[in-house]
A and B are shown apart, each in its own frame.
Chain A
Amino acid sequence: MLTRRTDLPLDSDSLSRFLPWLIAFMVFLAVMTLAGVMALNATASRWNKGISGALTVQIAPLETSVEKEEMRLQAALTVLHATPGVADAKIISDAEIMALLEPWLGALGKAKDLPLPHLIDVELEDGADPDTAALTRRLEAAAAGASIDDHRIWLKRLINLIRTVEGLAAAVLALVCLSTVGTVIFTTRTGLAIHREAIEVLHHIGAQDSYIAEQFATRALMLGLQGGGIGLALAIPSLLGIGHLATQMETGLLPDFSLSALHWAVLAGLPPAVAVIAMLTAHLTVTKTLIKMI
């Protein structure tokens, strides 16, 4: 089909010269959007995997004596270890807390003077979903001032946000797709009008609609591949540039923008997918239009 010679001079249509550039632009947009979605999705998965099975218990410093503080911590640990679904619970040392705060507060020479809360890192069993309200009440009873920082709440909100962005990206992809389809329909109909006389001759000598449609479809496929290739070629350096810039930023401020081999394979599949859409659109447009002819 691809090597088939054509009986219609579709190469000479001025619109044929414009179509690959429009498809290139559409593919560029689609690749950038899809890459963004895949990077966000991967980040959300990593975050989800990293903290969905964890809680942090925070105990405000109330007692002045170290022994009493230690007793409160141990009481909280006892409650946690007795809670179904808790796999492990361990106290985060003062040194670790200071290391966490250092990026924001600088070197903490006089950390002992600061009223820092005590933290307990709780690891949950797979699939465990403890009642955090009840656990908070029991911890409060064992160690006054204890509270639970449930990461799942803000993680859920974050994932909701990412899903919303993904939905918007899907809408952008749909618009890109519709624009491509609309453009191919327009150029195909124009081509049919330009070559109407030749098409009539082909009909008179016994050509099926499909014979004529295949010529338009093959042309659309070739232009789609050409435009898609250009779009992808422009998008790859852009993506690599964004990835490079993201790694230059302070860690933690931006999600990791790296794409896996599977992601690159999906992106590489976009130009042929767009070309196939263009081909099918052209074929359908021609057959729908020719059916009005005798």
Chain B
Amino acid sequence: MNTKADDCVVRFENVGLRYGLGPEVLQDISLSMTAGSFHFLIGASGAGKSSLLKLMYLALKPSRGLISMFGRDIAVTGRRELPALRRRIGVVFQEFRLLPYLSAFDNVALPLRVAGVKENDIRKHVVELLSWVGLKDHLEARPPTMSGGQQQRVAIARAIIARPKLLLADEPTGNVDDQMALRIMHLFEELNKLGTTIVIATHNESLVRRLGHHCMRLEKGNLEMNAKISSVFGLTPETVT
């Protein structure tokens, strides 16, 4: 990709990642994502998708290479500056990672609270968003009492409530029916139109085909930036999880 570094929301240059003294799980990853771009991330189980997303949401530091987020070189960014960068990133975790002792409302309100938004504004926005994802009647429900699909929608609401500049989603439609999956993807597209860069790790072939956005494929720690959808889903079902 021929993109000016300053325009990039995410930029990786020859990034490698290893856990401890183990082998590299990501090798020579180079990519750049401009503001307002939309990407699917696809790969077999163990290919390194979650590790790549963790590097993007600043949960890990690379073993080598350069990572630049919003034009900031992460290697020279102080620890105190990381929270401000993280607030520009929304994450939908595969396992949701909702706080089980908080209500759906409070879970979704968390990003606004850590950003210091006033409670009156928080209430308005959170109720509106939870209503949109069909959970208006579950504001006070706690995650353990909700279905997988409901929890997933709470997780999505939490990821987008603060209008992030970059949205990372790991299997965001894995636990919802096709209709809700499509609705969620349309929500992501709406956010994308407003300038949010979207990265979605998914196995949902029909969604990838239907939406037709840029597709990246990870295989054994190596990234193919412009993967053909047909080649991705041409894999045998047991190799794609």
Q: Which chain A residues have a beta carbon within 8 Å of chain B's beta carbons? A: 7, 9, 12, 197-198, 200-208, 211, 291, 294
**5 nearest interchain CB pairs?**
A206-B87, A206-B86, A207-B114, A9-B101, A205-B111
A205 near B114 with CB under 8 A, answer yes
Contacts A291-B79, A294-B60; A198 near B115 (Cβ below 8 A): no
A204 near B101 with CB under 8 A, answer no
Cα distance, A27 to B192, chains bound together (Å):
58
Distance (Å) between the CB of B94 and the closest chain A CB?
13
Residue of A205, A207, A208, A294 contacting most chain B CB atoms (<10 Å) = A205
Which of A12, A207, A294 makes the CB contact (< 8 A) with B58? A294
A207 near B99 with CB under 8 A, answer no
A204 near B59 with CB under 8 A, answer yes
Cα distance, A197 to B86, chains bound together (Å):
17
Residue B61 is within 8 A (CB to CB) of chain A in the complex:
yes
B58 near A201 with CB under 8 A, answer no
Cα distance, A143 to B18, chains bound together (Å):
100
Contacts A204-B57, A206-B115; A7 near B83 (Cβ below 8 A): no
Which residues on A sit within 8 Å (CB–CB) of B114? 202, 205-208, 211
A204 near B91 with CB under 8 A, answer yes
Contacts A206-B86, A207-B83, A208-B83; A294 near B115 (Cβ below 8 A): no
Contacts A204-B86, A208-B80; A7 near B102 (Cβ below 8 A): yes
Q: Which chain B residues have a beta carbon within 8 Å of chain A's beta carbons? A: 57-61, 79-80, 82-84, 86-87, 91, 97, 99, 101-102, 106, 110-111, 113-115, 158, 162
Which residues on A sit within 8 Å (CB–CB) of B102? 7
Distance (Å) between the CB of A254 and the closest chain B CB?
56
B99 near A206 with CB under 8 A, answer no
Which residues on B sit within 8 Å (CB–CB) of A208? 80, 83, 114
| 12 CB < 8 A contacts A-B | A7-B106, A7-B110, A197-B97, A200-B59, A202-B110, A204-B59, A205-B86, A205-B114, A206-B162, A208-B83, A208-B114, A294-B79
Cα distance, A198 to B61, chains bound together (Å):
20
Q: A205-B110, A294-B79 are in contact. List 9 more A-B contacts (CB 8 A).
A: A7-B110, A201-B97, A202-B110, A204-B57, A205-B158, A206-B114, A208-B80, A294-B59, A294-B82
Which residues on B sit within 8 Å (CB–CB) of A201? 97, 99, 110
Distance (Å) between the CB of A294 and the closest chain B CB?
6
Which residues on B sit within 8 Å (CB–CB) of A202? 110, 114
Cα distance, A236 to B114, chains bound together (Å):
43
Cα distance, A294 to B57, chains bound together (Å):
11
Distance (Å) between the CB of A56 and the closest chain B CB?
71
Which residues on A sit within 8 Å (CB–CB) of B84? 206
Contacts A7-B113, A211-B114, A294-B60; A203 near B86 (Cβ below 8 A): yes
